[in-house]
Amino acid sequence: MSFSATCFVNTFPKNVSYSREQRFQKLVKNCPASRAPTRRRAPRRTCLVAKVARHRIAVLPGDGIGPEIMNVTLEVLRTAGRRFDVEWEFLEAPIGGAAIDAAGDPLPVETLSLCRRAEAVLLACVGGPKWDNLSSKQRPEAGLLRLRKELEAFANLRPVRTFSQLLDASPLKSELVAGVDLIIVRELTGDVYFGEPRGIEFIPEGNGEREAFNTMLYRESEIDRVAKVAFELAMTRPRRKLCSVDKANVLETSMLWRSRVSTMAASYPDVEFSSMYVDNAAMQLVRYPKQFDVVLTGNMFGDILSDEASMISGSLGMLPSASLGDGTFPAIYEPIHGSAPDIAGQNKANPMACILSATLMLRYSLNRPDMADAIELAITNVLDQGYRTADIMSAGKRLCNCSEIGDKILEALQESAVSRVA
């Protein structure tokens, strides 16, 4: 059984896929004419029409460049839908700063309810300086954290692979990053981001001095469930390697983490298992990234390491992510980059991480790898033709803005459909 079917059975509906040649098959049967001289029947024709799949997706554009990249992504999905006989019901709702402005809450009840009714959640990005002075529980990022918690999305998958066309965009030497294909599995609903107690308080009898504190906490069950996802994922990959990253020489949470993951490794003898301290892992990611296959780590370490790993690909604008649970609630798909307020509204953003997040949605939640493959091929073809957004621009290439690169991807998607029919 595949990784997706094994770990997230309820997350993957079994949709029927039809080729273009099968879409409108007609079986024509002419009824014989009546022998009665006074009446003649018209020929009867029976048509069998291929079933059209319909999917309901919660769409959360968020803040900053979010609406721009989401518009491009939805148009790509619509175009792919026309090609593969898929109809979409996109249900849009505010989150983050946009939700604060509209409803006074970074995750309104209506938004959460809409997400729970959907098959998947497609999110762009949240945050911006406009809301920086709000309390931690009222900031835009709090809405995203609550959404992950409410939907029980405990496993965050962050693929990092290099496009051969973008080797020059990486600050690392091309020989180091060529061929990199790793995935970071980050625990998403525990650790210091959610641990209690937390706060900033005045020290009693401290002459007005304050202290800040957070709680780093993991339960065995939280470690076990995300570790299982990582091991099952490693089993589906050619190299079958898993490296667990922690700080077990200092932190009790990491000591428990290492103990539980090492114990589970015994149940996966076909997976080459290792553990690594997080400071060493940060160095190894830039020294020799090709040594990694599946990297399993906690919430805070995964947040930091995945941003570092983005430089392997050349830009945060090329990295998608999937936040998955056990199938009880819909999964969340989002690019790993932020809201980029410095270029918001200027049509300069790179939409490809958001589009690639949608391809993860097609694979993991909708069981449509055919559509995901077609979109990824279109992106590859656009890069082959030398089109670039500013974040991945290099000498001799053609600079595109957000909507222009989107149009090129749409053209490539349509052209590949035409060549497929031909």
> Which residues are catalytically annotated?
193, 247, 279, 303, 307
> Are 361 and 331 contacting, i.e. CB atoms less than 8 angstroms apart?
yes
| Distances in whole angstroms, Cα of residue 102 to Cα of each of 60, 96, 107, 114 | 14, 10, 11, 16
User: Do residues 235 and 202 touch, judged by C-beta distance below 8 A?
Assistant: no
Strand pairing category for 24-28 and 45-49: antiparallel
State how far the Cα of 293 lies from the Cα of 173, in Å rounded to an integer: 19
- Tokens at 291, concatenated: 């040594």
Give the H/E segment covering residue 38. none
Dihedral-angle region of residue 12 (phi above 0 means left; psi in -120 to 50 means alpha; beta otherwise) = beta
User: For strand 120-125 and strand 53-62, is the pairing parallel, antiparallel, or unpaired?
Assistant: parallel
Query: Hey, what long-range contacts does 223-227 have (CB within 8 A, 24 or more apart)?
Result: 223/187, 223/256, 223/257, 223/260, 223/261, 224/260, 224/264, 225/154, 225/155, 225/326, 226/154, 226/155, 226/185, 226/187, 226/188, 226/296, 227/260, 227/261, 227/264, 227/296
Q: How far is CA 320 from the centre of its chain?
A: 5
The CA distance from 115 to 111, in Å, is 6
